Amino acid sequence: MMERLAYIIIFFIVHGTKVLAQADICMTTHWYNRANYNPAFIARTDYLYIFSNARNQWVGVEGAPKVFNLQASGNFHSMRSAFGISLVGDKIGATQALNPMLTYAFRITNEQDWSLSMGLSGGVFTRSVDGSLFEAETTIDPSINYDIKKTVKPDANVGFEFQNASFIFGLSSTHLLAFGKPDDLFLNTNHRYGYGIYKNNNLDLFFYKVGILVVNRYNLTELEGNFFIRFKHPTGLIKGPRELFDLGLSYRSSQQLSFCIGLLVTPNLRVGYSYDHSFIPGYHLNETHEVLLEYRIPFKPASTNIRCGDEEFRFR
């Protein structure tokens, strides 16, 4: 199947025919870190944030997607600004994409109990097709190019996010420079995102949140719903309960159900794992796995609790 897919890809390259544009990376654990599609997310308060996740999709299918994501950001309260860097790698069959970006976010408002942030990311998007990986039935077919074809294009994302003790709302758009452009094999087309999250951290034994995400590109729209719960252990101390582990459940309108678990090794270190089950015919027997690592380095002890008045407002 993947050989046939590779033939179609290279055939369109050779003949210059327009094909369906590429989509953003698919990561179940984006509910932990929304910076991939909304740069305003990095405007946290006073800590260095490091996040990495890797995804191995449809295990057993030759050429199935593999994604790696690494991000680091730091917020400076006195400047009401955050700075970040990210690198996303995405490999599907004979194609491979790299997307390094620099991000800046600014807190438009910095009230005690709510905030409104704006973020902008800029970098490049590269995609290559390695024809040497193609195994054709007829090797002398003149329409097949066995060379490596590569393109590098500038890239930019923009987003806004509102947050208070109970709600998060966000709007963002990725790959702005591709807005309105025709489909192209090497183009990652413009996406629009909108989401809303309700969260409740007032309970002693657990914290939970419920979210919905809408993604649109061209005439394609996908919905995703998520339920997340974090269990806590009361300590009787002023600093409050100790967080233990997370459980999450997501469902996409593209017929995918995801289960996620996260373990807080320390108050600032989390490791996680996600398993996806696809209801698409032909892929429901192929497993998808995702792992994550999240680490925070506070600039000032407990400063975020004082400023935000809510621990989950700090952890986002």
pLDDT tens profile 214-249? 999 877 899 999 999 999 988 777 667 888 999 999
What pLDDT score was predicted for residue 247? 96
Nearest to 56 by CA among 81, 79, 89: 89
Residue 45 structure tokens:
């308060």
pLDDT of 291 strictly over 50:
yes
Q: Is the pTM of this model over 0.75?
A: yes
Half-sphere exposure at residue 130, Cβ-oriented, CA atoms within 13 angstroms: 10
| Top mean-pLDDT range of 133-137, 244-248, 275-279 | 244-248
| Structural contact between residues 97 and 127, judged by C-beta atoms closer than 8 angstroms | yes
pLDDT at 32 over 70: yes
At residue 303, the pLDDT reads 42
Minimum mean pLDDT among 47-56, 90-99, 172-181, 279-288: which range? 279-288
Span 252-256, average pLDDT = 90
Quick one: pLDDT at residue 139? 56
> What is the structure's pLDDT at 304?
42
- Looking at the predicted structure, is the pLDDT value of residue 137 above 80? no
Residue whose entry in the numeric block shows the structure tokens 């909304």: 38
Query: Does residue 125 carry a pLDDT above 60?
Result: yes
Residue type, 79: M
Q: Check residue 183 and give its pLDDT.
A: 64
pLDDT of residue 147: 66
How confident is the model over 80-109, as a mean pLDDT? 92
Alpha-carbon distance values, 71 to 79, 83, 87, 274 (Å): 21, 11, 7, 19
Q: What is the CATH number of the domain that holds 90?
A: 2.40.160.40
Rg for the chain, CA atoms, rounded: 21
Mean pLDDT for all residues in the chain: 81
Segment 81-95 mean pLDDT: 90
The residue type at 24: D
Burial class of residue 154, CB neighbours in 10 A (0-12, 13-18, 19+): exposed
- Per the structure, how many domains does the chain have? 1
CB 52 within 8 A of CB 69: yes
Q: What pLDDT score was predicted for residue 255?
A: 87
Q: Residue 108: is its pLDDT beyond 80?
A: yes
Q: What confidence category does residue 174 fall into, taking pLDDT thresholds of 50, 70 and 90?
A: very high
pLDDT for the residue numbered 180: 78
Both tokens assigned to 28:
């179940």
User: What domain range is 119 assigned to?
Assistant: 2-315
What percentage of the chain carries pLDDT values higher than 90? 45
- Which ranges of 182-245 does DSSP label H, i.e. alpha helix? none
Q: Name the 3-class secondary structure at 22.
A: strand
pLDDT tier at 13 (50, 70, 90 boundaries)? Answer: very low
Residue 137, burial from CB neighbour count under 10 angstroms (0-12, 13-18, 19+): exposed
* Mean pLDDT value of segment 132-158: 71
Task: Name the token pair of 79.
Answer: 């400047």
Q: Compute the distance between CA of residue 64 and CA of residue 56 in angstroms, rounded to an integer.
A: 8
- What gap in Å lies between CA 128 and CA 126, rounded to an integer? 7
pLDDT category at 6 given cuts 50, 70, 90 is very low
- Spatial CB neighbours of 282, under 8 Å, sequence gap ≥ 6: none
Neighbours of 81 (CB within 10 A): 16
